[in-house]
Amino acid sequence: MTGRRRHRDPPDPEPEYVPGTLLDWTNRDEHWSWEERSCRYCGGPTNLRDSKRKPAHKVCAEEALTRQAAEAAEAYQIGNTK
């Protein structure tokens, strides 16, 4: 057996997040309401509803998900370094 190591390619960089592409809200029956209400994140008026039927702009919901994922990843990394 030789002491040679196989070189691995570096990991692919994470794709850059483009607002408006994370969630698929194309089903109008699930994500649309004729009643305009305040977005749960920014407070602006919206007819859109999230998966729990709470009023939310799609971009606001995506930003919240991105933030939650980053916080979870940070908590996971902190928990694994102890």
Reported as a single tens digit per residue, the pLDDT across 20-55 is 677 888 888 889 999 999 999 999 999 999 989 999
Is the pLDDT confidence value at 9 over 70?
Answer: yes
The answer to whether the predicted template modeling score (pTM) of the entire model surpasses 0.75 is: no
Question: With pLDDT > 90 as the criterion, what percentage of the chain qualifies?
Answer: 39
Return the H-helix or E-strand segment holding 42: none
Question: What is the residue extent of each domain of the chain?
Answer: 28-80
- Whether 46 and 56 have beta carbons less than 8 Å apart is answered as yes
Return the H-helix or E-strand segment holding 32: strand 32-38
